[in-house]
Chain A
């Protein structure tokens, strides 16, 4: 049976989902929530989504998409342009490199893998920012945020997994 225009549109929209969802999470990260300590404690949800989709659907989250998401993050957050893009690319590349290792592993190993990837990405971002600023910038806030992100990982991944099942129906 030849797919109709509607089914093709539907498929297209579903395939855009990982990118659009991660983009939405980048947005969420910049909305003022008026919570004390939001800046320090708020986890980077977009980083978890990027990790998840890069690992499970690299066809729908290519390196270019990671780059664009990082760039968008920089633009909205006021960070030096290019630093977030580099950090997101770093996450994507690490996942791509270690895909065989992650394949079929337990959730605990996945969590541990994310811990390493998130830490390396934060270190990379910190290094770039320091280099651009010409001085060692304060890394405490970044360290706290990375810890919060790692702590939120199981919950966010569960939500992503539910969305993945509903929207993309993996075989």
Chain B
């Protein structure tokens, strides 16, 4: 009798806990704010531990890479020399274009690009969960990181900040199911939206002039809708078939170690939010100055 009661009690415990989990899931779905705050508070508490553990691991990875590079030293040297030759040529081109660009901007009185400032941060959590595409970095609001800041690595766009606590920030990667980035594709500059689907290869949706897109085309942010600044490299078109276009991102999630969290202060539409108003006013004033000087 006692055994049956105990067993029944255990199943009641399962029922109650499962109900609790369901409630948490529904709450998370309905109002992400509360859940996000709890999540961040816990993350904030464990970030120092994750940071401490990730350092020796990074050191080991570096040591392994160092040994590897010693083995391939001669080959690497030849490759770097060739790269250097090539890059010097590009440097010349870039300098010329930069000067030309500045002169042309001056000529047409183009409003200057918004000021940017960035925070470098270490990736402290890069989960193995197969149903989430997010990372945690060890920089938070106390370092000046804000929600919706853009996150880039040396390879290109990584994602954007979805939540911040004082010491940590959670970043939704461009491969996440909920990620949507307006992009320009290839030299044709066809507009599209890069949509993550939790796989390593996000897809292009809402493509305008689809016929012009071919594998190998470069993908960069378009700056439409104001979420991201224009021209950030993202990746290349990997495959085009009748129904979908997949993209291979430049960033390699497994190799992310340091990222830059950039506050681009992307100007919003006037009246879109209260905080955008001063920005828009400044921009309008600059434009007015420009036209007055003409």
Contact = CB atoms under 8 A, between A and B. Distances in A.
A115 interface: no
A32 B21 CA distance: 27
Contact of A89 (B21, B134, B198, B199): B21
Interface stretch (B24-32, B146-154, B223-231, B270-278): B24-32
A30 B128 contact: yes
B131 A72 contact: no
B256 interface: yes
A78 B42 contact: no
B94 interface: no
**Considering residues B21, B197, B252, which has the most beta carbons from chain A within 10 angstroms of its beta carbon?**
B21
Contacts of A36: 252, 254-255
Interface stretch (A106-114, A135-143, A151-159): A135-143
B250 interface: no
A27 B49 CA distance: 9
Nearest to B172: A78
Contacts of A39: 126-128, 130, 253-254
Interface string B32-73: 000100110011001001100110011001000000000000
The B interface is mostly helix, strand or loop, or mixed, namely helix
A78 to B, nearest CB: 3
Interface of B: 10, 13-14, 17-18, 20-25, 28-29, 35, 38-39, 42-43, 46, 49-50, 53-54, 57-58, 61, 123-136, 170, 177, 197-199, 252-257
20 contacts: A29-B129, A32-B124, A32-B257, A33-B57, A34-B255, A36-B252, A38-B126, A39-B126, A39-B127, A67-B20, A73-B129, A77-B134, A78-B135, A80-B131, A81-B39, A82-B22, A82-B23, A96-B14, A142-B131, A145-B130
Ordered nearest first, which 4 A-B pairs have the shortest CB separation? Answer: A78-B134, A77-B129, A77-B127, A82-B25
